[in-house]
Structure 1
Amino acid sequence: MKVIVAIILILLVVFLCMKLSISLFFQHAQDDDECRITFSMLFGLIRYTVRIPLIKVDKESPGIVVAHKQTVQNVSESEPKRSKYNPREIVHSFKEAKDFVHHVVHLHVIARKFFSHVSVTKMEWQSKIGTGDAAKTGLVVGMGWSLKYGVVAIISKYMRLKTKPLLSITPSFQQAVSETKFVCMIHFRIGHAIVAAIRIIKYWRGNRWKKETFNHQANESY
């Protein structure tokens, strides 16, 4: 019996220490969009991919249409599914996110602790921008560089940026062009994600845990 308990504890520790890798690929080329998110464990032996090959605005009625499918490596691949989100549903989603933030005491502290354990090992962001007018193109390119540097600054502040970001913007002065490609890979241990989830439940407003308790333990490390 003790041997079984010991084996279970060892497997549990191994699982908690296991790293989860998330790869994000997004590409926009004029009216063609594609988004792909891949979750992998055990050096890629276990892999799950969500593909969103099409994101567009429905011209017939207000809303956004998304075509997506899920893929489990070497196991199965679902048929493409189309989902439509109208403005009311989108606003409702933002409202739910706002309510979630409001209900967790000091959610930003919990998130900061979790993100401090997230490593960014790959980041590429390439864009091609043009408006057909040289002056306007130069202005848009400048805004694009400001946006990219701002995103990198936020990531390096809250996460472990272990690679040099590859950023580029190619201006097109002769024609209107809108293209971008973003690739990012992050890693974190499953145990850190579970601890963050437990803290969110623990400090949910309305339960028996008090805000003072959180403030007392806010500086605890994992």
Structure 2
Amino acid sequence: MGGDSMGWVIGLSLLAAVLLLFPFTSLWIHVAYRRSGEDDQLTLRFLWLWGLIRFRYRVPMEDISRKGLNVREKMDTNARDKGKTLRDRINWAAVKRARKQWAFLRENIVYLTGVIRRFLSRIVCERFTWYTEIGTGDAAETGVVTGLVWGIKSSFIGVAGSHIRWDRSPDIDVEPRFNEKLLHTDLDCIIRFRIGYAILAVIRLFTRMRRKGSEGKWQNTLSKA
């Protein structure tokens, strides 16, 4: 009996220690994306407790492409069916209602942006590499496209660097293939953040929504916008 009691005490103590230290533990997210021709591969890995707990998920890119195509087809169909009645639904009352909803969203989005920025500032990027090989088959076009890709990557690094912290400098490269038609890109990124910062961000968002009139008001406003 004494041994059982001691086991319960040890178990409860370990559980209490885990719950107490949980907000101070870090979560690692490893994003690996590779595109070669028409083949896309996106893999997400989640590591917690310094890699003792691991989870891997491979995103089915083909399903995403099909869903995107289906959504676009539905939108085109709805646009054709409802285009005739669009003018009938636009009136002065609808305009005033839209202005009120936009003012509400703008006020709260500013706050949400602040919360998200605060959370992003706690994220550390341990590794970021992004290599691309590209060619159109025409030397002049390849040169233009290469410069465009360089601009996109540089802009992304600049924007990301203003929000998160780099553990090491990003490594990006674009290699033109002037006499080939190909597209190959390889992106590898590892970020980490403390669980407590994510919990705090969720609490701040939830508190803000309740202060503005509960989550239902947000959902109603968004659905009417």
Q: How many angstroms apart in 2 are the aligned matches of 1:13 and 1:162?
A: 27
* Residue 164 (structure 1) shift: 1.4
Partner secondary structure for residue 86 of structure 1: helix
Q: Partner amino acid for 1:65?
A: R
Identity of aligned residues (%): 30
Q: Partner amino acid for 2:51?
A: G
Bigger radius of gyration: 2
Greater mean alpha carbon deviation, residues 17-26 or residues 166-175:
166-175
After superposition, the CA RMSD in angstroms is: 3.0
Q: Is the 8 A contact 1:22 1:38 kept in 2?
A: yes
Q: Partner amino acid for 1:45?
A: L
Q: Of 22, 33, 38, which residue of structure 1 is paired with 2:45? A: 38
* Residue 85 (structure 1) shift: 5.3
1:110 aligns with 2:95: no
1:30-69 aligned within 5 A: 30-55=37-62, 64-65=65-66
Q: Partner amino acid for 2:35?
A: H
Aligned residue for 2:157?
Answer: 152
Partner secondary structure for residue 62 of structure 2: strand
Q: Partner amino acid for 1:19?
A: S
TM-score (norm 2): 0.69
Q: How many angstroms apart in 1 are the aligned matches of 2:145 and 2:169?
A: 24
Greater share of helix:
2
Q: RCO (CA 8 Å, sep 6+): is it higher in 1 or 2?
A: 2
Where in structure 2 are there 5+ consecutive unaligned residues? Answer: 1-8, 77-104, 216-225
Q: Of 13, 25, 33, which residue of structure 1 is paired with 2:20? A: 13
Q: How many angstroms apart in 1 are the aligned matches of 2:75 and 2:163?
A: 27
Q: How many residues are aligned here?
A: 176
Partner secondary structure for residue 183 of structure 1: strand
* Residue 10 (structure 1) shift: 4.1
Aligned residue for 2:30?
Answer: 23
* Residue 43 (structure 1) shift: 1.5
* Residue 165 (structure 1) shift: 1.0
